[in-house]
């Protein structure tokens, strides 16, 4: 009867804390839990803040390191088209090499096709969204008998066009580097 009464009033016989009434222990445990929960929330928020500040630092670092594509640095398709237009005018006026383009110059459709191919080629080489659909360089120049001097003259004309639009040295060298790699497929003599 006494044992029953004790249990009923909140004692748990046989346990270490059996002297603490259940209600009181509930409050102590609840209090401890609340305290622990509070601590955990504070720690979590602090961790989240630290991590987010780290990721911001890394994102900023990443952005600093990541250089935009050559296509973007050249100014996109509009700027590339302007350079190619100028380039074609310079080439057509260049007596060192304009004989190669005599037939092309007579046919506006052919000039248009060459213009589009050159724009797409530079755009794609610079990491832009264009797709070059023309012939590969070996096939396109096969049998033309292009010499190294012809090739260098054409590169000079391209530099003139790039300089007219104040293209930076870095971008100019990157583009010339990409085109220079095609030399072996274009020069025959
Ligand atoms: C890196 C240098 C060069 C590049 C990137 C280049 C690029 C091109 C491209 C994209 C085409 C059009 C291909 C097609 O129709 O599918 C083409 C055609 C042609 N290229 Fe070049 N070329 C280069 C050097 C030269 C040189 C040095 C010459 C002569 C001096 C030359 C003369 C021609 C001619 C005559 C055509 C045919 C144009 C036509 O279809 O009417 N190219 N080239």
The list of the chain residues with pLDDT below 50 reads 1-17, 23-24, 54, 56-57
Q: Whose CA is nearest to atom 21 of ligand 1?
A: 141
Q: 91, 93, 100, 102: which to mutate for ligand 1, most atoms within 8 A of CB?
A: 100
Q: Contact 161/86 with Cβ under 8 angstroms?
A: yes
Q: Cα–Cα distance between 189 and 141 in angstroms, integer?
A: 12
Q: Could you tell me the maximum CA-CA distance found in the chain, to the nearest angstrom?
A: 122
**Predicted pLDDT at 2:** 38
**Predicted pLDDT at 134:** 98
**Predicted pLDDT at 61:** 57
| pLDDT, tens digit (0-9, with 9 covering 90-100), for 52-101 | 554 544 555 555 678 999 999 999 999 999 999 999 999 999 999 999 99
Task: Of 88, 102, 182, give the one whose Cα is nearest residue 136.
Answer: 182
Question: 36 C-alpha to center of ligand 1: Å?
Answer: 75
Ligand 1 proximity of 135 Cβ (cutoff 6 Å): yes
CA 41 to chain centre: 38
Ligand 1 proximity of 84 Cβ (cutoff 6 Å): no
Domains along the chain?
Answer: 2-65 (no CATH), 70-186 (1.10.490.10)
Q: 137, 157, 180, 189: which to mutate for ligand 1, most atoms within 8 A of CB?
A: 137
**Predicted pLDDT at 66:** 87
Q: Contact 126/70 with Cβ under 8 angstroms?
A: yes
Ligand 1 proximity of 167 Cβ (cutoff 6 Å): no
The number of helices, as runs of H, and strands, as runs of E, in the chain is: 10, 0
Angle between helices 108-125 and 76-93 (to 10 degrees): 130
**Predicted pLDDT at 189:** 84
Which DSSP helix (H) or strand (E) runs through 156?
helix 148-164
**Predicted pLDDT at 3:** 43
**Predicted pLDDT at 65:** 79
**Predicted pLDDT at 26:** 55
Ligand 1 proximity of 150 Cβ (cutoff 6 Å): yes
Place of tokens 């009033």: 9
Place of tokens 């790699």: 181
**Predicted pLDDT at 183:** 98
């Amino acid at each position: 009867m006494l044992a029953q009464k004790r249990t009923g009033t909140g004692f748990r016989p046989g346990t270490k804390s059996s002297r603490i009434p259940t209600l009181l222990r509930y409050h102590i445990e609840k209090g401890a839990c609340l305290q622990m929960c509070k601590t955990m929330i504070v720690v979590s928020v602090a961790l989240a803040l630290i991590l987010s500040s780290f990721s911001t630092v890394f994102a900023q670092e990443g952005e600093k390191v990541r250089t935009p594509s050559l296509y973007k640095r050249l100014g996109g398709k509009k700027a590339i088209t302007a350079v190619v237009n100028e380039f074609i005018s310079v080439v057509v006026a260049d007596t060192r090499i304009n004989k190669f383009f005599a037939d092309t110059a007579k046919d506006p459709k052919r000039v248009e096709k060459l213009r589009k191919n050159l724009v797409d080629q530079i755009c794609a080489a610079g990491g832009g969204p264009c797709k070059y659909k023309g012939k590969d360089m070996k096939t396109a120049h096969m049998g033309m008998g292009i010499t190294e001097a012809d090739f260098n003259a054409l590169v000079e004309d391209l530099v003139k066009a790039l300089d007219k639009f104040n293209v930076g040295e870095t971008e100019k060298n990157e583009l010339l580097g990409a085109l220079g790699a095609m030399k072996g497929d274009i020069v025959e003599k």
